[in-house]
Amino acid sequence: MGYPVLVLWVAVLAVLAFLLGGVNPATLVARARGADLRASGSGNPGATNAGRVLGRKWGALVLVLDVAKAYVPTWLILSAIGTAAALVVGLAVVLGHVFSPFLRGRGGKGVACAIGAILAVEPVVGLAALAVFAAVLPLVRVVGEASVVATSVLLVLGVLGAVGVLPVVGTWTGLWLVVVALVVLWRHRRNVRRWWGRLRG
Domain boundaries, the chain: 1-109, 122-201
Query: What contacts 130, CB < 8 A, 6 or more positions away?
Result: 115, 150
pLDDT recorded at residue 82: 94
- Does position 197 have pLDDT exceeding 80, yes or no? no
Model-level pTM?
0.93
Helix (H, G, I), strand (E, B), or coil: what is residue 74?
A: helix
Query: What contacts 185, CB < 8 A, 6 or more positions away?
Result: 148, 151, 152, 155, 192
Task: Give the closest residue to 169 by CA, choosing from 125, 132, 127, 130.
Answer: 125
- Does position 3 have pLDDT exceeding 80, yes or no? no
pLDDT recorded at residue 40: 86
pLDDT recorded at residue 200: 63
CA distance readout (Å), 188 to 37, 63, 75, 147: 18, 17, 26, 8
3-state SS of the chain: helix, strand, coil percent to 5? 80, 0, 20
Task: Give the mean model confidence (pLDDT) for residues 14-34.
Answer: 95
pLDDT recorded at residue 6: 82
pLDDT recorded at residue 196: 65
Residue with the bigger pLDDT between 119 and 191: it is 119
DSSP E strands: which ranges in the chain?
A: none
Task: Give the closest residue to 50 by CA, choosing from 71, 27, 66.
Answer: 27
DSSP symbols for 53-121 = HH-HHHHHHHHHHHHHHHHHHHHHHHHHT-HHHHHHHHHHHHHHHHT-GGGTT-----HHHHHHHHHHH
- Per-residue confidence at 140, pLDDT binned at 50, 70, 90? confident
pLDDT recorded at residue 1: 60
| Residue 158 contacts residue 175 (beta carbons within 8 Å) | yes
Integer Cα distance of 27 and 2 in angstroms: 40
pLDDT recorded at residue 144: 84
CA Rg, the chain, in Å? 17
